Amino acid sequence: MELISPTDLAKENIQTVQDYVLFCGQAIANLFRKPLYFADMVQQADTIGVGSLPIVVLTGMFTGGILALQASNTLERFGSITLVGQLVSTSMVRELGPVLTSLMVAGRNSSGMASELGSMVVTEQIDAMRALGTDPMKKLVTPRVTSCVFMLFFLTIISDLVGLVGGLFIAKVLLRLDARQYWYNAWETLVFQDVFMGLIKPVLFGFIIATVGCFYGMNARGGTQGVGRATTQAVVAASVLILAFDLFITRFLMIVLSYH
Amino acid sequence: MSAPTLPLDRTLPTTKDNSAPAIVFEDVALAFDANKVLRGVSFSLAHGETKALFGVAGSGKSLILKLALGLLRPDSGRIIVLGEDITQMKEKELFQLRSKIGMVFQESALFDSLTVKENVAYRLTEEHGIYDDDIDRQVREVLRFVELEHTLDLFPSELSGGMRRRVAIARALITKPELLLYDSPTGGLDPVTSNTIIELIVKQRDVYKTSALMVTHRLQDAFTMATHQFDKQTNHIVPLPPGQHCEVPMSFLILRDGKVIFDGDLDQLAHTQDEYIKEYIS
């Protein structure tokens, strides 16, 4: 295996970050340039949104259930088992709903975008598209980014709701808690900052998922092996970026919203 | 050999009657890292001329087509296509120019998620403002030209290699381009299918008289093109009488080590004294 010098490696990584930033800029700028491929946006919204619905529902439901189960153990020691609803609600809405939904969608769609676009690159379909007078960034990337941001927002809301239902199921069946009390606690504990934080995250994460997937796909080189590599890199990069940005945006929003 | 039916009542494309070449390469160089693929390539493709481009694998033949289309930019030199200097042209301006150029890629490069009809109609649907009926009529017409009208609703994966290549030609022809670029149109095909493709290219050349640059590995394809012409009466390609040249000028360009070592017609090629070329064409 050929060894790369640390300087070259650093340069390569900086170059990739620079290319990615330019790529994102172009994807956003294309929103304000004609033509807007609305039909492609709708098609992508269906693929990303409706297609991801089953895994998002399952993830949300099991996460809510597990949260209720784990929380009950601790809360019972302090005689506060009735607060299960509060804990499930705040955890799901503020953190686990957006993050887990994004990770699931990243696993499904970043890889899908990278492999689809990567295959188009290595079979010269992207070149053919340019030769036929179409900008691949406008036709392929911008609709995916727009649809992913839009659909992840709603998928997160669904995930939050289903998570609360999963928590309710555990609270009712295993913990023998009153359903109305669970819902009351879950609802009353939520404040504007919780909801705002929980809904701003999927917008950013959706952007990361789509741009990373498309970026690795459009830069795939080296035939089918290159497509496979691009797919793996897209999922890894998107997942790591989601978790890293989650930390920063949470801290940032806590400061901005004077939130403790 | 019989050629596919030609819609002869169709209006021929309006060729700009000027003496300006369709393509001019002036001392064009291109390298990938340390690998210098093109080292000062210069040639010109006259308006209405067909030029066959030869060279061993890796000599940069396909790169010349991509440079002519603006898909790649040269490191140095100048490229003029249809009278416009594309060397420093922005991608947005290139899209306008590319609408006048048809390109047939090496492996067809059909969009695999679209049907044959959608592939061929792609350029028309992207232009907007064209009625569906018009698009449908034009697609059927051009698919009839390549004898594939029955494949309208099939996907590229359901076609044979030769059929895919013919669909790619149809896609390139649909907007009646002023310049055609063929990247190994017969590469990887059996001799019979290759002949069908060459017949189509000859027919296109002689009927529409579009300027064309064709990369090929098969010398016999280029020789067939130089020694045959399309006969509208019989709808066949027929051999030219000895010593007679076809109506549309046909020339040959040979690349070696990133440079042009031959640029001339069939007679000049046949009488060349260059040992490498002699060996190459033997």
Structural domain contains residue B149: yes
Neighbours of A101 (CB within 10 A): 29
Average pLDDT over residues B121-149: 87
Residues of B in contact with A221 (CB under 8 A): none
Nearest to B99 among A124, A129, A133 (CB): A133
Residues of A in contact with B122 (CB under 8 A): 132, 134
In this prediction, residue B11 carries a pLDDT of: 37
Q: How far apart are CA B269 and CA B265, in angstroms?
A: 6
pLDDT over 90 (residue B128): no
My answer on whether B201 and B167 are in the same domain is: no
Residue that is last in its domain, among B122, B148, B176: B176
Structural domain contains residue B84: no
- Mean residue pLDDT across chain B: 85
- How many contacts, defined by CB atoms under 8 Å, are there between A and B? 51
B241 — pLDDT class (breaks 50, 70, 90): confident
B133 — pLDDT class (breaks 50, 70, 90): confident
**Structural domain spans, chain A:** 34-256
Q: Low-confidence residues of chain A, pLDDT below 70? A: 1-2, 260
How far from each other are the two terminal CA atoms of chain A, in whole angstroms? 51
Q: How far apart are CA A234 and CA A219, in angstroms?
A: 11
| Structure token pair of residue B162 | 């030769």
Q: Give the contacts of B272 (CB within 8 A, at least 6 positions apart).
A: B262, B264, B278
Distance from CA of A16 to the nearest CA of B (A): 17
Neighbours of A253 (CB within 10 A): 16
Distance from CA of B65 to the nearest CA of A (A): 11
In this prediction, residue A169 carries a pLDDT of: 94
Q: B27 — phi, psi (to 5°)?
A: 50, 50
Whether residues B95 and A133 touch (CB distance < 8 A) is answered with yes
What global pTM score does this model have? 0.85
Residues of B in contact with A132 (CB under 8 A): 98, 122-123, 126, 171
Distance from CA of A131 to the nearest CA of B (A): 6
In this prediction, residue B4 carries a pLDDT of: 45
My answer on whether B254 and B192 are in the same domain is: yes
* Mutation choice for B interface testing from A40, A123, A124 by most B CBs within 10 A: A124
Nearest to B98 among A124, A125, A131 (CB): A131
* Domains: count for chain B: 2
Neighbours of A46 (CB within 10 A): 12
In this prediction, residue B20 carries a pLDDT of: 82
My answer on whether B129 and B198 are in the same domain is: no
Residues of A in contact with B128 (CB under 8 A): 35
In this prediction, residue A220 carries a pLDDT of: 93
Distance from CA of A146 to the nearest CA of B (A): 20
C-alpha A202, offset from chain centre: 6
Q: Does A123 touch chain B (CB under 8 A)?
A: yes
My answer on whether B127 and B186 are in the same domain is: no
My answer on whether B183 and B280 are in the same domain is: yes
In this prediction, residue A1 carries a pLDDT of: 60
In chain A, the residue whose alpha carbon lies closest to the alpha carbon of B124 is A132
Of B12-16, B205-209, B272-276, least confident by mean pLDDT is: B12-16
Whether residues A132 and B66 touch (CB distance < 8 A) is answered with no
In this prediction, residue B106 carries a pLDDT of: 86
Q: What is the tens place of the pLDDT at every residue in A149-188?
A: 999 999 999 999 999 999 999 999 998 889 999 999 999 9
B15 — pLDDT class (breaks 50, 70, 90): very low
Nearest to A131 among B69, B112, B128 (CB): B69
My answer on whether B194 and B167 are in the same domain is: no
Q: How far apart are CA A120 and CA A127, in angstroms?
A: 9
Structural domain contains residue B98: no
Whether residues B122 and A132 touch (CB distance < 8 A) is answered with yes
Peptide bond into A35 cis (omega under 30): yes
My answer on whether B193 and B58 are in the same domain is: yes
Q: What is the tens place of the pLDDT at every residue in B148-168?
A: 888 999 999 999 888 999 999
Residues of A in contact with B66 (CB under 8 A): 127
CB-count burial class (<10 Å; 0-12, 13-18, 19+) for A249 = middle
In chain A, the residue whose alpha carbon lies closest to the alpha carbon of B114 is A125
Average pLDDT over residues B94-107: 90
In this prediction, residue B9 carries a pLDDT of: 37
Alpha-carbon distances, residue A11 vs A7, A93, B34 (angstroms) = 6, 40, 18
My answer on whether B197 and B154 are in the same domain is: no
Buried-exposed string B14-29: b where 16+ CB fall within 10 A, e elsewhere: eeeeeeebbbbbbebb
Is the distance from CB of B3 to CB of B203 less than 8 angstroms? yes
Whether residues A131 and B111 touch (CB distance < 8 A) is answered with no
Whether residues A134 and B71 touch (CB distance < 8 A) is answered with no
Structural domain contains residue B87: no
Domain that holds residue B148: 110-176
**Pairing relationship of beta strands B50-54 and B250-256 according to DSSP bridges:** parallel
Q: What is the tens place of the pLDDT at every residue in A70-86?
A: 999 888 888 888 889 99
Structural domain contains residue B66: yes
In chain B, the residue whose alpha carbon lies closest to the alpha carbon of A138 is B92
In this prediction, residue B232 carries a pLDDT of: 81
My answer on whether B117 and B244 are in the same domain is: no
Residue that is last in its domain, among B153, B176, B199: B176
My answer on whether B189 and B229 are in the same domain is: yes
ipTM for the predicted complex comes to 0.83
Q: How far apart are CA A56 and CA B87, in angstroms?
A: 49
Nearest to B107 among A123, A130, A131 (CB): A123
Whether residues B112 and A123 touch (CB distance < 8 A) is answered with yes
In this prediction, residue A50 carries a pLDDT of: 93
Residues of A in contact with B92 (CB under 8 A): 135
In this prediction, residue A260 carries a pLDDT of: 60
Alpha-carbon distances, residue A64 vs A92, A165, A176 (angstroms) = 7, 7, 16
Distance from CA of B96 to the nearest CA of A (A): 7
B18 — pLDDT class (breaks 50, 70, 90): low
Q: How far apart are CA A40 and CA A47, in angstroms?
A: 10
Is the distance from CB of A111 to CB of A213 less than 8 angstroms? yes
Is the distance from CB of B70 to CB of B86 less than 8 angstroms? yes
Nearest to A135 among B95, B103, B105 (CB): B95
Whether residues B91 and A127 touch (CB distance < 8 A) is answered with no
My answer on whether B217 and B275 are in the same domain is: yes
My answer on whether B62 and B190 are in the same domain is: yes
What are the residues of chain B with a beta carbon less than 8 Å away from any beta carbon of chain A? 66, 69, 71, 91-92, 95-96, 98-99, 101, 103, 105-107, 109-112, 122-123, 126, 128, 171
Whether residues A128 and B103 touch (CB distance < 8 A) is answered with yes
Residue that is last in its domain, among B160, B176, B192: B176
In chain A, the residue whose alpha carbon lies closest to the alpha carbon of B71 is A127
Q: How far apart are CA A164 and CA A67, in angstroms?
A: 10
